[in-house]
Amino acid sequence: MANNLLKGKRGIIFGALDEKSIAWVTAERVFEEGGRFVLTNAPIAMRMGRIQELAERCESKVVPADATSIEDIENLYKESMDTLGGNIDFILHSIGMSPNVRKGRDYGDLNYEWFLKTLDVSGISFHKVMQVAEKMDIMNEWGSIVALSYIAAQRTFPDYSDMAQAKAVLESIARSYGYRMAKSKKVRVNTISQSPTITTAGTGVTGFDVFFEFADKMSPLGNADALACANYIIAMFSDFTRMVTMQNLMHDGGFSNSGITHEVVEHLRQIEKLAENAG
């Protein structure tokens, strides 16, 4: 389905860890669409993940950067412009991590240092990515910056814990920085609020399998998978979406506007029947 939608465009993709990562699938699609990019991830992910494999396939370079470190981001941008031979047209921020979620801390017993880490890695890093981009003036006019979010920013999903606050921060930064970027460089900034997706970050949330299935039944189109998300990101990086900015774009198969669906009703009826038969 390649249409050269990103031909001649240069970018930076944060967050490809393994082949399930949304950033990994996106990198493969961007490459197919003719875009060229530098891949980056936290130094620790370089050891754990398989990013070099992806880089070879996409004729790309890997530059390690902790997205919470200004120094790392500055170095990443310098190396990216040298490697790609010019300014940047697109950035994907596909980063999320909560030590509280990872270590199974209850929401009523959060470790506040970890909470700050969650906010820094998963939310404030998006500000850092854009502030450094603006100061170093790396973006081309009509460029596009996208970060990935989740509907827990608006509604409560109990086991999503402090990541819900991080996503609310992330979406708010997209609006505030989107304004600046539009005024200074005509660059657009959006978040894409994605369906539950089977990845390392996704499955780290307790009860993920249940809410993955629930969301699938609650979405008239079903859950959007990583490839569908990648295709949406391609559209947001392409010149067809130049006037879309400061938005939180729902990419969820209709989940966010559904009250109840026939699939959920049917599922509950089946459970009732099973309970009756057992009784």
Ligand X SMILES: NC(=O)c1ccc[n+]([C@@H]2O[C@H](COP(=O)([O-])OP(=O)(O)OC[C@H]3O[C@@H](n4cnc5c(N)ncnc54)[C@H](O)[C@@H]3O)[C@@H](O)[C@H]2O)c1
Task: Give me the residues that bind ligand X (CB under 6 A), please.
Answer: 14-15, 17, 21-23, 41-42, 45, 66-68, 94-97, 121, 148-150, 194, 196-197, 199-202
Q: Which is nearer to ligand X, 123 or 178 (by Cβ)?
A: 123
**Residue 189 near residue 177, CB atoms below 8 Å:** yes
The residue with its CB nearest to ligand X is: 202
Angle (CA) 160-65-175 rounded to 5° is: 55
Locus of tokens 């596909």: 94
Q: Which is nearer to ligand X, 138 or 153 (by Cβ)?
A: 153
Locus of tokens 């990216």: 80
CA–CA distance, 131 with 134 (Å, rounded to integer)? 5
CB of 274 to ligand X, least distance (A): 29
CA 124 to chain centre: 14
Q: Which is nearer to ligand X, 55 or 97 (by Cβ)?
A: 97
User: Read out DSSP for 41-56?
Assistant: --HHHHHHS-HHHHHH
CB of 219 to ligand X, least distance (A): 13
CB of 205 to ligand X, least distance (A): 8
CB of 153 to ligand X, least distance (A): 10
CB of 278 to ligand X, least distance (A): 33
CB of 20 to ligand X, least distance (A): 6
Q: Which is nearer to ligand X, 185 or 228 (by Cβ)?
A: 228
Phi-psi region of 246 (alpha: psi -120 to 50; beta: other; left: phi over 0): left
Number of helices and strands in the chain (H, E):
12, 7
Q: Which is nearer to ligand X, 37 or 150 (by Cβ)?
A: 150
H/E segment holding residue 181:
helix 163-185
Say which residues have a Cβ less than 8 Å from residue 196's Cβ, sequence separation at least 6: 150, 202, 208, 211, 212, 215, 223
CB of 76 to ligand X, least distance (A): 10
Helix or strand or coil: residue 41? Answer: coil
Locus of tokens 């950035």: 91
Q: Which is nearer to ligand X, 42 or 189 (by Cβ)?
A: 42
Q: Which is nearer to ligand X, 17 or 139 (by Cβ)?
A: 17
